[in-house]
């Protein structure tokens, strides 16, 4: 098995047929079929289900695809590193950003990359922090921003703290929250028990952090719905199904939440003692990071730190954190 075999396998998986893969690789279908058979023989497994209209990955094929992507990316990074030792970073970087920080980070990071790293091709992937951590571990991502909680306990990643943020109750139904607000427009943790909450599932970092903090202070939570997608969480509370716990950054006009918002999201900081989480830069421990990846990661840290003290986020910079890593 060599890199050519891996490229053949990945291209077939992405195109779904030998004919389509052949056009991309400029190879005949019989040649691709022979390479694929040899690869399956070497791995002693079936990588694709053969159908009249094409091919689909088997379970073993999907597992091997993760390894193939990681190996090909490492080979690409190694080549780029050698070719650009005395030049600006070059290469492709796949960078993960949690949904609530999309508005603060994504556009600014892309523009900074275009200006300062013109030979780097940046792909930003947006999702929940838990999914991002999994993709980083599997090799689908090269670096990412993740939150404290379950994702931050992943020992396969190097974590460097950037900032700490307070969490807020988010709702569109102001009358349902009003009885529990303090004179400062905040809500005490003990009063969160009265709210109907729409939250991600119990395996996600935000849910783990909120429940662990509430449990330590003997505050039961009334989670009435579980949805593992931020836009749908806010769509549900916009339709009157309760409130959620979120970052203040979710109100940013460019966020995944606000981009589809038809009304005003009201946010109230949770106090006494409140919910707090740390924002980390994550890079993989099981493979080296390219110069391009490290350069993009530095830009991401700089961008977030520039936004930390703003009214749109109100986060606190972590002393001796990831700046200048």
Residue range 215-224, pLDDT digits in tens: 999 999 999 9
Into which CATH architecture does domain 165-276 fall?
Answer: 3-Layer(aba) Sandwich (3.40)
Above 70 in pLDDT, residue 132?
yes
Q: Is residue 273 reached through a cis peptide bond, with omega within 30 degrees of 0 on the bond before it? A: yes
Intrachain domains 88-164+278-317 and 165-276 with the same fold: yes
Query: How large is the average pLDDT for residues 155-182?
Result: 92
Task: Give the range among 10-14, 83-87, 166-170, 272-276 with minimum mean pLDDT.
Answer: 83-87
Task: Give the range among 125-139, 181-195, 260-274 with minimum mean pLDDT.
Answer: 260-274
96-134 burial by CB neighbour count: b if 16+ within 10 A, else e? bbbbbbbbbbbebbbebbeeebeebebebbbbbbbbbbb
SS3 per-residue string spanning the chain: CCHHHHHHHHHHHHHCCHHHHHHHHCCCHHHHHHHHHHHHHHHCCCCEEEECCEEEECHHHHHHHHHHHHHHHHHHHHHHHHHCCCCCCCEEEEEEEEHHHHHHHHHHHHHHHHHHCCCEEEEEEEECHHHHHHHHHHCCCCEEEEECCCHHHCCCEEEEEEEEEEEEEEECCHHHHHHHECCCCCEEHHHHHHCEEEECCCCCHHHHHHHHHHHHCCCCCEEEEECCCHHHHHHHHHCCCCEEEEEHHHHCCCCCCHHHCCCCCEEEEEECCCCEEEEEEEEECCCCCCHHHHHHHHHHHHHHHHHHCCCCCCCEECCCCCCCC
Residue 269 pLDDT: 97
Instruction: Determine the Cα–Cα distance for residues 61 and 39; give it in Å rounded to an integer.
Output: 11
Task: Give the range among 30-39, 116-125, 248-257 with minimum mean pLDDT.
Answer: 248-257
Cβ proximity of 149 and 129 under 8 Å: yes
Residue 262 pLDDT: 46
Into which CATH architecture does domain 88-164+278-317 fall?
Answer: 3-Layer(aba) Sandwich (3.40)
Residue 317 pLDDT: 93
Query: How large is the average pLDDT for residues 287-293?
Result: 87
Domain 3-71 has CATH 1.10.10.10: yes
Beta bridge partners of 54: 51
Task: Domain ranges for the chain, please list them.
Answer: 3-71, 88-164+278-317, 165-276
- Alpha carbon dihedral 245, 249, 252, 258, in 10-degree steps, equals -30
């Amino acid at each position: 098995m060599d890199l050519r075999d891996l490229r053949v396998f990945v291209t077939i998986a992405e195109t779904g047929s030998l004919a389509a893969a052949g056009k991309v690789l400029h190879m005949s279908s019989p040649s691709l079929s022979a390479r694929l058979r040899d690869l399956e023989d070497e791995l002693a497994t079936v990588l694709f289900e053969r159908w009249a209209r094409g091919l689909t990955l088997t379970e073993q094929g999907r597992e091997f695809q993760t390894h193939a992507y990681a190996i090909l990316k490492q080979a690409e990074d190694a080549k780029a590193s050698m070719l650009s030792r005395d030049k600006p970073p070059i290469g492709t970087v796949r960078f993960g950003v949690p949904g609530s920080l999309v508005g603060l980070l994504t556009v600014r990071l892309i523009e900074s990359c275009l200006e300062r790293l013109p030979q780097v091709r940046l792909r930003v992937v947006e999702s929940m922090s838990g999914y991002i951590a999994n993709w980083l571990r599997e090799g689908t991502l090269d670096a990412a921003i993740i939150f404290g909680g379950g994702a931050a306990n992943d020992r396969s990643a190097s974590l460097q703290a950037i900032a700490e943020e307070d969490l807020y109750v988010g709702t569109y139904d102001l009358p349902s929250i009003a009885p529990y607000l303090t004179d400062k427009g905040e809500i005490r943790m003990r009063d969160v028990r009265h709210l109907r909450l729409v939250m991600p599932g119990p395996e996600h970092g935000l849910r783990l952090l909120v429940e662990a903090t509430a449990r330590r202070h003997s505050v039961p939570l009334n989670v009435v719905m579980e949805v593992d997608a931020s836009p749908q969480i806010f769509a549900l509370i916009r339709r009157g199904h309760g409130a959620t716990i979120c970052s203040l950054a979710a109100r940013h006009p460019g966020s995944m939440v606000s981009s589809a918002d038809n009304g005003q999201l009201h946010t109230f900081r949770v106090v006494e003692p409140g919910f707090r989480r740390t924002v980390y830069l994550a890079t993989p421990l099981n493979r080296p990071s390219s110069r391009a990846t490290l350069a993009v990661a530095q830009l991401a840290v700089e961008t977030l730190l520039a936004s930390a003290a703003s009214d749109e986020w109100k986060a606190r910079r972590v002393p001796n954190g990831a700046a200048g890593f």
